[in-house]
């Protein structure tokens, strides 16, 4: 199936590795030009060069901290200056500390909300008038199934994710009439450095080893493995393509029907 993405311009936050990188790879392989952001310049530039070499598309590394409004605005402005427009926004720059209510500090809650919720809100805000004026745009927020289900050990992520999902529903309702679509993609555990870090922290908090933490995650998923970043990227790539034009305001889990309660120890 031709996804009709050739020549589109995509802006992807948090994409030097993990899910964002896989999204950048797939969009470029489908013919899109891509701008990727992350805080650390060197791995970001390395990723951009590799994807450009593999796809033959323009892939631009734009270092920036997506928890800082001024960095978001700078990267969006530079992208529009360079390519003339942005067709696609995918937000992946998020991380929320895990933990149980009595262990989570004010700082844990605020850092999660500042990056995973307000970072996503600010990024959408930075592109929305541009997309409204052009009469088109496709946005996907990579959020997380903690926003759709009670989250056992990831409460700060759950609250930020639920807020992202509600925010996206409102944007879908208000901007659909301008041809701008927004959807959320909600993974459970995905095989990335972030998941590895969460498993280590879970193991520490629950006083088990990481192998046991991984077993618990796997046994909470009826498909009996965790997701690969490329599987999330395939869903995102379809959703931002014109093929998915009538999908707007949807919140799609990609978690193999995980039951988080089964991770309790």
Site residues (vs ligand NAP, CB under 6 A)? 13-20, 37-40, 65-67, 92-95, 115-116, 142, 144, 187, 189-190, 192-195
Three-class DSSP labels, 122-153: HHHHHHHHHHHHHCCEEEEEECCHHHCCCCCC
- Cβ closest to ligand NAP, residue 137 vs residue 158: 158
Q: How far is the CB of 91 from ligand NAP (least distance, A)?
A: 7
The token pair that represents 131 in the structure block: 């997309």
- Cβ closest to ligand NAP, residue 55 vs residue 67: 67
Q: How far is the CB of 52 from ligand NAP (least distance, A)?
A: 17
- Cβ closest to ligand NAP, residue 13 vs residue 79: 13
* CA distance linking residue 226 with residue 217, whole number of Å: 8
- Cβ closest to ligand NAP, residue 27 vs residue 115: 115
Q: How far is the CB of 61 from ligand NAP (least distance, A)?
A: 11
Nearest to 36 by CA among 87, 114, 90: 90
- Cβ closest to ligand NAP, residue 6 vs residue 40: 40
Q: How far is the CB of 29 from ligand NAP (least distance, A)?
A: 18
- Cβ closest to ligand NAP, residue 143 vs residue 242: 143
Q: How far is the CB of 196 from ligand NAP (least distance, A)?
A: 9
How far does Cα 212 stand from its chain's mean position? 27
The residue number with the shortest CB distance to ligand NAP is 18
- Say if residues 68 and 57 touch (Cβ distance below 8 Å): no
- Say if residues 151 and 160 touch (Cβ distance below 8 Å): no
Q: How far is the CB of 80 from ligand NAP (least distance, A)?
A: 19
Residues β-bridged to residue 183: 140
């Amino acid at each position: 199936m031709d996804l009709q993405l050739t020549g589109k311009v995509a802006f992807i936050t948090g994409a030097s590795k993990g899910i964002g990188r896989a999204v950048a790879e797939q969009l470029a392989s489908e013919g899109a030009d891509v701008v990727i952001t992350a805080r650390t310049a060197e791995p970001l530039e390395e990723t951009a060069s590799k994807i450009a070499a593999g796809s033959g598309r323009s892939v631009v590394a734009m270092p920036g901290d997506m928890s800082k409004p001024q960095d978001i605005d700078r990267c969006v402005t530079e992208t529009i200056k360079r390519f003339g427009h942005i067709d696609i926004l995918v937000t992946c720059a998020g991380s929320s500390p895990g933990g149980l209510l009595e262990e989570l500090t004010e700082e844990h809650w605020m850092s999660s909300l500042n990056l995973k919720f307000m970072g996503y809100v600010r990024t959408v805000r930075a592109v929305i008038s541009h997309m409204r004026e052009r009469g088109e745009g496709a946005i996907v927020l990579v959020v997380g199934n903690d926003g759709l289900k009670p989250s056992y050990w990831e409460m700060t992520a759950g609250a930020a994710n639920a807020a992202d999902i509600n925010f996206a529903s409102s944007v879908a309702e208000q901007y659909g009439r301008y041809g701008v679509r927004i959807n959320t993609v909600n993974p459970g555990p995905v095989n990335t450095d972030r998941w590895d870090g969460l498993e280590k922290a879970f193991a520490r908090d629950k006083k088990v080893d990481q192998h046991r933490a991984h077993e618990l995650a796997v046994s909470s998923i009826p498909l009996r493995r965790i997701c690969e970043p490329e599987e999330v990227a395939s869903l995102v790539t379809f959703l931002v393509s014109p093929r998915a034009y009538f999908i707007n305001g949807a919140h799609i889990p990609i978690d193999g029907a995980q039951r988080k309660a089964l991770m309790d120890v």
